[in-house]
Structure 1
Amino acid sequence: MRAVYRLDDRGQAAVEFAGTLPVILVTLALLWQAALIGYTFSLAGNAADAGARAGAVAGVAACGAAAREDLPDAWQSADIDCQDDGDLFRVSVDLPVPILFPGAVNFPFEVPADAAAPMEDPS
């Protein structure tokens, strides 16, 4: 008696999942990277605002400290430029953009943010 082989779809779902898994993982990595870029923009803007507020009251030294105060460790290498511009105190912050994991490797570009605040009398 000859063996009869049935051709059916057993295992097809596993094959399709194995084929689409790389696409799913790449999509998740791209979404995570987009979230990190957006978070870096938010951090840069907040740091510039905090630095401008502190600098308008207490000067350049307070500006840099206030701008770095709330930055996570992975973004502490920020370039912060504080300037007393007459009636305004201007701050420019450039933050590195991490690749997938903050603190590991950064993209070769930085996210810029600028802020200004009117000078205040500290008394």
Structure 2
Amino acid sequence: MKKITTNFYDFLGISSAAICLVHCLIFPMLSILPLGLNHNPFIDLVFAVFGTFAVSKIIQKSNILISAVLTVSMVLIWLSILTELFLDIHLHLIYFGGIGMISGHLLNYKLYNKQNH
């Protein structure tokens, strides 16, 4: 059985965080148009589940700085999503969490490639 590399989890994390960030930035603009679109925090929840999976795999093998950046970013994202789900309050923490996720995964990807090449 082929072992899945850290590069795969970084790609999954970067993709999930980038798509989520685009969704969070673009959707408020789309909701202004009379298209009948409503924001659904369960979409954010799906992105967070993928991100949490990728982060859990990466922090096992990365250094303390990258682990801290990814963990804090996931906490910010989860706080924002859960606050919106249960309290119907939209916090802007999700933007900082998304940027942190992308940054952490990019740092880990560069560090991993530098060590293995």
TM-score (structure 2 length as normaliser): 0.34
Point out the structure with the larger strand share. Answer: 1
User: Relative contact order (C-alpha < 8 Å, sep 6+): which is higher?
Assistant: 2
Larger Rg: 1
